Amino acid sequence: MKVIGKMGPSQKNQNNEQNSPLEFKTLLSKIANDTKIAEGAPAIEDILRCIYRNQPISTKRISQYTKLPLPIISKVRTILERNRILKRDKKGAIYSEEGLKLIEKNLKFKMPYDLKCPTCNGRSIILDDYFGAILKKHKIHSKNRPTVNTSIDQSYATPETATHRAAFMADRGDLEGKRILFVGDDDLTSIPTALSGLCEEVVVMDIDDRLLNLIKNISDKENLNIKTIKHDFRNSIKEEYKNSFDVVFTDPPYTIEGLKLFLARGVEALGKEGALYLAFSHKPINEYLELQKILLNTGFVIYELIPGFNKYEGSEIIGNTTFLARLIGRNLNFNEKIDLNKLYTGEVKPVIRHYKCMNCGELHKIDGKSVRIENLVCKCGGAKFKMIKREKI
Q: Where are the domains of the chain?
A: 9-106, 129-329, 350-392
Q: From 3.30.300.30, 3.40.50.150, 3.20.20.60, 3.30.1490.20, which CATH number describes the 129-329 domain?
A: 3.40.50.150
| pLDDT level of residue 15 (50, 70, 90 thresholds) | very low
pLDDT in tens, 108-155: 999 998 888 888 888 999 999 999 999 999 999 999 998 877 777 668
What's the pLDDT at 157?
A: 92
- Is 1.10.10.10 the CATH classification of the domain at 9-106? yes
pLDDT in tens, 220-237: 999 999 999 999 999 999
- Per-chain mean pLDDT for the chain: 87
The residue type of 93 is A
pLDDT in tens, 300-334: 999 999 998 999 886 455 457 899 999 999 999 99
User: Which has more pLDDT, 64 or 196?
Assistant: 196
Per-residue DSSP letters for 159-189? HHHHHHHHHHHHHTT-STT-EEEEE--TT-T
Q: In what order do the strands lie in the sheet with 201-206?
A: 227-230, 201-206, 179-183, 247-250, 274-280, 321-329, 300-311
* Inter-residue contact 205 to 234 (CB < 8 Å): no
What's the pLDDT at 351?
A: 67
Instruction: Tell me: pLDDT of 5 over 70.
Output: no
- Cα separation, 146 vs 107, whole angstroms: 48
Backbone angles phi, psi at 132, to 5 degrees: -65, -40
Chain-centroid distance, C-alpha 164: 15
The stretch 76-87 carries a mean pLDDT of 92
**Which residues 6+ apart lie within 8 Å of 127 measured at CB?**
135, 163, 164, 167
Beta bridge partners of 78: none
Q: Which of 250, 251, 244 is nearest to 269 (CA)?
A: 244
Parallel, antiparallel, or unpaired for β 321-329 and 274-280?
antiparallel
Dihedral angle over CA of 41, 45, 50, 55, nearest 10: 120
Beta bridge partners of 203: 181, 227
* Inter-residue contact 372 to 151 (CB < 8 Å): yes
